[in-house]
Structure 1
């Protein structure tokens, strides 16, 4: 069974969504999934860049209305 966490970063502005998501990822074992919801438009570019730089896998990046939803697998 894969560990999963969710983090609601709606209303936060750059760089807080990524910084707080990074903190949440530390709570997961390797292979765990973190779902992050954010409303900051910069998050659309920030999360893919964060994953490239840290080696975590960006499983999906979708939009639910005004909310961006990112699913990240910890590596």
Structure 2
């Protein structure tokens, strides 16, 4: 899959269920520099709403896009500060 984002890191949380995709996403984002984009690969359908809700309520992160694939949900999150 190609995207217009310059991916700094890919986090694979396939097989993990709520709340682990969000917990691991937060940990990975904390390790990035401002402006960098994290690609998150998840298999939990709930990750679509969970990561959206987390990003919406968390200062310093921006949810750029979510892709609902056949079996994998891909999320693109930018650290903004």
- TM normalised by structure 1 equals 0.91
Partner of 2:67: 62
Structure 1: 5+ residue stretches without partners: none
Structure 1 pair 3–37 and aligned structure 2 pair: CA distance change class (3 A): closer
Partner of 1:19: 23
Partner of 1:30: 34
- Judge conservation of contact 1:57–1:72 (CA < 8 Å) in 2: yes
Structure 2: 5+ residue stretches without partners: 1-5
C-alpha deviation, 1:66, in angstroms: 0.9
Partner of 1:43: 47
Aligned residues: CA RMSD: 1.3
Number of residue pairs matched by the alignment: 74
- TM normalised by structure 2 equals 0.85
